[in-house]
Structures are given as C-alpha cells and as structure tokens.
Chain A
C-alpha cells in the first residue's frame, strides 16, 4: 500500500516538471496559435546551455540559470521576430513545417556540438537529499521542481491577468487586427511571448538535466509530454496545464509500479482516456 502511495506522490511531483514542459507550449499557442514542434528540442538546448555554463564557470546549475534564462529569452525574441513571425498567417501549415525543420536543425547542431553521449547536470548533494514524510521519503529535488512549477504557473497567471504585458497578450490573442489598431505592435508582442515561453523552457531544461541524463535526441519525447499535459488540462488554462502534468506524471509512475515497461504507455492511455471523455480537456477556458 505504502508503495502505491509513494508512486502517486512521485507522480505528482514529476507532474511539476511536465507542467514546466507544457507551460511554454501553452503560452505560445494561446497568444499566437502557433504549435511549436521544436519546443522539446529547445528544452534540451536549454539543458545543454546549462551544462556548458555550469562546467565552464564551475557553478551550480541553478546559478547557471541566471545566464541560461535571459539567453533563452533573447533567443526566443530573436527567433520570433526573425523567423516565426514570417510564418504566421491564415494557413497553419507553414509554422508547423518551419518549427519541425527547426527541431531537426537544433537536434543535429547539438549532436555536432556535444556528441550523442548522454550528459547530466550535477546539482551536488541536493540530488540525493530527502525529507521523511511519515513512512514515505520525499526527494528534495522533485519537491523543489514541483514548487518551482507552481511558482512559474502562478507567475505566468499573474503576468497574464494583472499586467499590461499580459493585457497585450490577451488583446492580440483575442483579435490581432483590432489590437494593432489600438496601438499594439503584434510582431513585438509575439516576440515577447516567445521570450517568456523560452525563459520558462530554460527553467524546464535545467530541471530536466538535473533529474535525468539527456542527449540530443530526447526533445521529441519531452514535446509529447508537454502536449499531453496541455491537452489533458484544457487549452488556454495555465492551472489546468499543471493539473494535466500531474495527471500524466501520476499515470506514468503508477503504470511503472504495475510493470516497469508500462510507464510511458500508461501516460498515453491516461491522455487518450481524458480525450475520449472530455475532448476539450479537464479545465478548458470558459469563453468561445
């Protein structure tokens, strides 16, 4: 019994990481209806940037985040203004194709730069530290990851609904033409949205790199987890995305408890079940 409780608890905490994978994806789709196929590879890119920074400067991965986060945000803004804005239009195919191409380019560039050897970020004693919780024992790192995920989602929620920047995001998302007539520069607003999304991706990448080993090819899998979390939670709902991540995480750890080979399958089955019962996700945004 206690083992099952442990599996559920671990799953909930893992869900935090998945929510971080998903948050950037959800934000970009929400603001500009762009499905970013390269999102998973950008997470892996952030992990590698974290690796280079922490190895070169000899600092803890969390300290490396001080460099990687603004760097990824800058990459996001430049990517949006220089490339992705040109693909957005009435046709949804160009952004899909371009981000798919971007995914291939990032994977191969990482392969070229870092080889296919698995790498890992070292967070020192933090990785093995744990807190006893009754008969269970909770890892500090998963707990911290979950806490960061909640803070990030809360932060995004605050930006969206309580700041001028968020009002700009929502106005452009609502009606691009009118937003421009009201003085909003769409290209700039989209750039800021992508910068914010990739800042979140930087956090996700560093936490991923501390949790598991990574190599240039794992981006696709992270993209799928992110997508599943977004869709389980309901498009456009940030807290729903967190719930989606948690459901996916719990399904995976409980599945792995039944049979280690079932981890991924159980996650996908949970996703399909939610889609079958609630096609709009569990917490879809009420409007539209």
Chain B
C-alpha cells in the first residue's frame, strides 16, 4: 500500500522549546499507528501540525499524494483528516447531535437526511445516541471523550488522529473503547493514536513511533519497540543496565 500521510523533515519550535525536530515518517493507507513519548515530547504538537492548526518552520506534509503543508485546517478536514483532543472541547452550547452534524455537513460535505443519518450512525457507534439532544456542556468527562471521537468521525475522515482518549477510563470503559476503535479501523479508516495507556494502544496498532524532544527516536513493530533500549530508558524512565 502507498503512503497516505508522509511527513518529511518537519521542524517546529517555540523559542528554545523544540516540539518537532526534523521528524520524518510515513503512514500507509489502512494502517493503525501508535505514538508514544513522555509528556512534553511534542506528540500533541505533531497532531497540530498534521491537522493544520500549527504551521511548521520547515519540512513538508503530504496527504493522499498532495502537498498540504500550506493548506488550511478547514480544507484538511474536508480532505479527510480529523482529530480528537486530549482535553475535550465540545461546542458546549450546541446539542450532541448538532456537534456531530457540524462535522457531517462541513467536514464530510453531506447535506439534509444524509448528514443527519450519518451523524446518528456516529453517535450510535460511540454510544452517545441517548444523549443526542442534550447540550454538550452538560456531558460527563467520559461522554465528552466519546463526543471528541464522535465529532472527529462525523467528518468521515480517511485519517483519524486520536489524542489520549483512553486516559482516565475504567478497565471496562477502556475495553469498550478499544473495541470501537478496532471497528473503525476495520472499516478502512487509517488511525494515528497518541496514548499513555500502553496496553490499549498495543491492542490496536500495528506499528509504534516513539518521540522525545520533538525527535523520532524509534519506530517499528510494537513488541520489538517496547523491548528496545531507547524506549525503556527514555519513555519508561528506567535504566536497563540497573
């Protein structure tokens, strides 16, 4: 399979803080990739760069064989990139259904019945259907996290960026989440997932990329990566020789 997303020499810094340092990697269509790294390693910034809310200082981003480095966030969404946020940011004053409808009409360019039925399907998939007519600001944290995913899915993405959606969930909730992400992936959606809950991540992804200080420090098959020296040292904070 060809690369759906291709990142080439991407760099971004805020003053002395480097959030991306000549990062390069590719994600093939249909793949599920996990991103690991300590807090402040630049994982979320990487998502901001891919989704278009942050402009890189240098480097190129290609999506579906076209250069999107200078493309607006709104346009990228229409092209098929959608993301969820670690700290849920729903449209608080709108209902859950309306939140999903924004993505269905704007991101996926659906209209009328089609948009409504897609929004409902997404709410069904994420278990939010009973809350469809509730204002989003009244949701609990778990429901807000689900809404993050629902809203991203409502835009019918080909590439879904998930930012720490398993954090703070109980084991049962986490299990349900893994199942629904697996279903979404099986449906053909390419996924990049940032997650600290490693067992959840490893249950879904085929490949892991490890970043620290904005640099990609390891990349490969999950089992091998988790055993690697760099990951143990930098990510898990243990000295393998001790």
Contact = CB atoms under 8 A, between A and B. Distances in A.
A174 B155 CA distance: 18
B111 interface: yes
B224 to A, nearest CB: 34
Contacts of A181: 51-53, 73-74, 77, 82-83
Interface in B47-96: 51-53, 72-75, 77-78, 82-83, 85, 89, 91-94
Contacts of B92: 174, 287-288
A182 B102 contact: yes
A175 B107 CA distance: 16
B77 A167 contact: no
A178 B105 CA distance: 15
A168 interface: yes
B45 to A, nearest CB: 14
B74 A170 contact: no
A182 B98 CA distance: 12
B94 A167 contact: yes
Interface residues of A, number: 21
Given A167-B102, A174-B91, A287-B92, A182 B151 contact: yes
A179 B83 CA distance: 12
A186 interface: yes
Contacts of B103: 182-183
A171 interface: yes
B83 A287 contact: no
A180 B91 contact: no
A182 B53 contact: no
Interface string A181-208: 1111110000000000000000000000
Given A167-B101, A179-B102, A183-B103, A174 B53 contact: no
Contacts of A175: 89, 91
A177 interface: yes
Contacts of B78: 183
A177 B85 CA distance: 12
Given A180-B53, A287-B92, A287-B137, A164 B105 contact: yes
Nearest to B100: A182
A288 B93 CA distance: 8
B106 interface: yes
B7 to A, nearest CB: 18
Interface residues of B, number: 32
A71 to B, nearest CB: 28
B115 to A, nearest CB: 8
Contacts of B182: none
B94 A168 contact: no
Interface in A59-116: none
A177 B53 contact: yes
B222 to A, nearest CB: 28
A164 B111 contact: yes
B135 interface: yes
Contacts of B89: 175, 177-178
Interface string A113-139: 000000000000000000000000000
Nearest to A186: B74
B119 to A, nearest CB: 11
Contact of B72 (A164, A170, A179, A185): A185
Task: Name the residue among A177, A179, A182, A285 with the largest chain B CB count within 10 angstroms.
Answer: A182
A177 to B, nearest CB: 6
A18 B236 CA distance: 65
Contacts of B102: 167-168, 171, 179, 182, 184
Contacts of B85: 178
Contacts of A178: 85, 89, 91
A219 B72 CA distance: 38
Given A181-B51, A181-B83, A182-B77, A168 B93 contact: no
Contacts of B108: 183
Contacts of A168: 102, 106
Contacts of A186: 74
A227 B91 CA distance: 27
A184 B52 CA distance: 13
B186 to A, nearest CB: 24
B53 A167 contact: no
Interface string A267-288: 0000000000000000001011
Given A174-B92, A175-B91, A178-B91, A183 B106 contact: yes
Contacts of B82: 181-182
16 contacts: A167-B94, A170-B91, A170-B98, A171-B91, A178-B89, A179-B91, A181-B82, A182-B102, A183-B74, A184-B74, A185-B74, A185-B75, A186-B74, A285-B93, A287-B92, A288-B92
